[in-house]
Amino acid sequence: MEKKLVSSGTPWEEKVGYSRAVRVGPFVEVSGTVSAEGGTIIGEGSAYDQARFIFSKIEKALMLAGATMQNVVRTRMYLTNIQDFEEVTRAHAEFFSKIRPASTLVEVSGFVDPKFLVEIEVSAIIEE
């Protein structure tokens, strides 16, 4: 099976050695995604705004891999403060209320920048 690597162009991808998304056959995995663009944190201080931006960023990566949000079968959401779960799940519902993928939400001790409140990754399967 062919492997397609999707890049968002951040310097971290080459430095760390990862891709924004990888497609192998009908399977697409999107890396853990935070709310940053061009070195700027988007939605600083708001878990809801960060989650919405992240889901939009994930949607773009899926499109580059030949998938859509409709193809998502699993979401994984990591929060630094579990009290933010309502804000993050509200954003999740805006994208997935009809799709209803399997989902995980957990609290973690932190991310590389303490201004990041949320990190999200998804798995998708494309019908061939």
Q: Is-contact 69 52, C-beta < 8 A?
A: no
Q: Tell me: the pLDDT tens digits for 57-101?
A: 999 999 999 999 999 999 999 999 999 999 999 999 999 999 999
* Mean pLDDT over the full length of the chain: 96
How many domains are there within the chain?
1
Q: Tell me: the pLDDT tens digits for 105-121?
A: 999 999 999 999 999 99
Is a pLDDT exceeding 80 seen at residue 17? yes
CB hemisphere CA count around 7 (13 angstroms): 10
Q: Tell me: the pLDDT tens digits for 63-73?
A: 999 999 999 99
For residue 11, the domain's CATH number is 3.30.1330.40
pTM for the full model?
0.95
Domain ranges, residue 69: 3-125
Q: Is-contact 116 88, C-beta < 8 A?
A: no
